[in-house]
């Protein structure tokens, strides 16, 4: 029982802390640094307890195309 269990596969790439309640020091700098690290590795979703934080990547993510039948919304003034 000495090994640490993670709910995800052991082959999943980790970047920063996926739930920021686990940060060793909670401060604005630590939160921003963790979000930046995850963003740079294309992890746009991060939890802080039961709250989900999403950082808009402004680019196509490698997760594939949008859901079938979903049409992207084009807001006036946006390209």
pLDDT tens, position by position, 4-33: 555 555 556 678 899 999 999 989 999 999
Average pLDDT over residues 37-52: 90
Looking from the CA of 64 toward its CB, the CA atoms found within 13 Å total 2
Taking the complete model, does pTM exceed 0.75, yes or no?
A: no
pLDDT tens digits for range 50-73: 999 988 877 665 555 555 555 555
How many whole angstroms separate alpha carbon 72 and alpha carbon 66? 8
């Amino acid at each position: 029982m000495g090994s640490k269990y993670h709910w995800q596969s052991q082959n999943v790439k980790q970047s920063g802390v996926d739930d920021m309640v686990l940060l060793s020091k909670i401060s604005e700098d630590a939160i921003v640094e963790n979000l930046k690290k995850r963003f740079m590795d294309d992890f746009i979703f991060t939890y802080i307890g039961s709250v989900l934080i999403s950082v808009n990547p402004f680019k196509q993510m490698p997760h594939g195309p949008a859901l079938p039948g979903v049409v992207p919304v084009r807001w006036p003034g946006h390209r």
